[in-house]
Amino acid sequence: MTLYIKYEPKIRSYVQRLVFHTKDAEDVMQCTAMVLWKKHENYNSEYPFLPWAYKFAYNEIRNYYRKNEKKNLFLDQDCLEQLADTSSEFSTELDNLKSYLDECLYKLENEDRRLIEYRYCEDGQINELAKKRNTTANALSKNLQKIRQKLFLCVRLNRGDES
């Protein structure tokens, strides 16, 4: 349990990088936690916990894509494997980038941050929001593009990229 609590944020990031819809990633994460709990007695403490946990998370991600094949969410096995390998390999760097992005999101104006949250955290649709705000989808899309550009530049600056 202690190891799970310690590494839960890294496992969650891994799942979120491979499952693109926030709500689905949360479901996969819950399934992963249940499997890890059931299998905890099989864990050999002579080996690192995180790669062991990633294997179970990966299997839950594969199950998710298999179950949702009809929604056209399925990545072929090779593609999913490559994404998983890359995600594991660059885990620390990706976590750092996420941390920079979180800092940059915090710096945004409230309205801009709310638009980003609606679109990417809540999987909100631009057309629906445009109707609610009495504006056009095109105007919101352009606004989102400007905000993404700000975030991109902010993350690069936080990383120390000079160009």
> What does each of the 163 residues of the chain score in pLDDT, given as a tens digit?
788 888 888 888 888 888 877 888 899 999 999 999 998 888 888 888 888 898 899 999 988 888 877 655 556 677 777 777 777 777 778 778 888 888 998 899 998 988 888 887 776 788 888 888 888 989 889 998 999 999 999 998 988 875 5
**94, 13 in Cβ contact below 8 A?**
yes
If asked whether residues 24 and 61 sit together in one domain, one would say yes
**95, 10 in Cβ contact below 8 A?**
yes
If asked whether residues 51 and 105 sit together in one domain, one would say no
Among the candidates 89, 114, 138, a domain finishes at: 89
If asked whether residues 28 and 62 sit together in one domain, one would say yes
How much is the pTM? 0.55
Residues 6+ apart with CB under 8 A from 21: 123
Q: How far apart are CA 117 and CA 22, in angstroms?
A: 11
If asked whether residues 81 and 103 sit together in one domain, one would say no
User: In total, how many domains does the chain have?
Assistant: 2
